Amino acid sequence: MPLFPHRIPNVVHHVRVRDESVGGDNPFAWEMQLSHEIVGREKCVIFALPGAFTPTCSTFQLPDFEELYPRFQKAGVENIFCVSVNDTFVMNKWAEDQGLEHVKVIPDGSGKFTSSMGMDVYKDNLGFGIRSWRYAMVVKNFEIEQTFVERGFTNNALDDPYGVSSPQNILAFLEGREYDTGGEALQLNLSDGIGSEDKIG
């Protein structure tokens, strides 16, 4: 199990944002946004998963985070972000398909955020290529306060474990109840990781 950085990385994400000045049927423009700009300094939850539109992610994890957002707010969480090694077109369409109002999606098409976290794995056995292991973390001021990593971290895993990074388990932690810490006791690496310097003040 690789060591997490003690702060979230600050890499470039290529995103499509609505821009009415573009006009036409597809009024979107390209923007390059840094991770720290997207996430901000407030307390948040960031969860990562193998891919948009995949069964567990679409049926349980993403919709449950969306539904339980009011409870996260009561527990002091300002925002919830979903990261996946998918491009912005796929992530935006998935967000639209899921009817998201609270959870914000972050495209990591090149996998830079994921690899900086040490959470990149091969999923060639499913034809996915390099994707993210399923995990989540509580973050404040870019500092990682708690991690929730699914058991069995490995390349070409035969299954897709889910539970440790579920919103229900994270809420248990935030609300001071007993929670599943996962299969590994992670230690935080005191290096910041690739591109994680604070570039926005």
Cα separation, 138 vs 183, in Å, equals: 18
* 44 labelled catalytic: no
Catalytic residue among 8, 46, 48, 57: 57
What's the DSSP call for residue 86?
Answer: S
Catalytic residues: 57
